[in-house]
Amino acid sequence: MCGTETASPTTIKVEGAELEVCADCTGFGTEVRTTEESSTATKYSTSSSSGTSSSGGSSGGSSGGSSRRRRDMFDEMEEVATDYDQRIRSARESAGLSQEELASQINEKASLVRKLERGDVLPSDEVQRKLERKLDIDLTEEGGTEDADWETDLAEDGLTLGDKVQRRDE
């Protein structure tokens, strides 16, 4: 994650993505152990990122030799659309409601509606359902596996995320 080259990277899972990172970055996710590293662990058993290792043992009905990927909770989550703020504003204006009137009707604060329309905050699941019901809109992203279509040519240059990101604490 930080871009430091290491002789023995550790594989961790961060928000559904598996990354090979240095020892300093392992705290950003949960460690992923494969059957090659430990014969007692299942293919994708995870341990806590607190630095203490838990015993592998058998953890359910999956066999160690299985090459099938374990389902990740992020695979089934619907994502909030990137233009949710515009969708909310245009639907509210089409309904002829002020921000205060909409907030009152969905039993939320007007400041929350303002922040949502500015794109400052993402709606919670409950607020998202209220807005979708009241304004008759869909705030979830259309499409399915966008990650599969994502391409970059940065790998050819040998650049990492750490080469591009400016850390604030430096």
Domain ranges of the chain: 10-69, 84-135
Q: Residue 107 — pLDDT band, cuts 50, 70, 90?
A: very high
Q: Are the C-beta atoms of residues 131 and 123 closer than 8 Å to each other?
A: yes
Neighbours of 26 (CB within 10 A): 18
pTM, whole model, 2 decimals?
A: 0.43
| C-alpha pair distances (Å), 5 with each of 150, 156, 159, 160, 165 | 25, 17, 12, 10, 16
Residue 136's pLDDT band, with cuts at 50, 70 and 90, is very high
**Are the CB atoms for 121 and 112 separated by under 8 Å?**
yes
Q: What is the mean pLDDT of residues 134-146?
A: 75
CATH architecture of 84-135: Orthogonal Bundle (1.10)
Q: Which residue has the tokens 């090979």?
A: 20
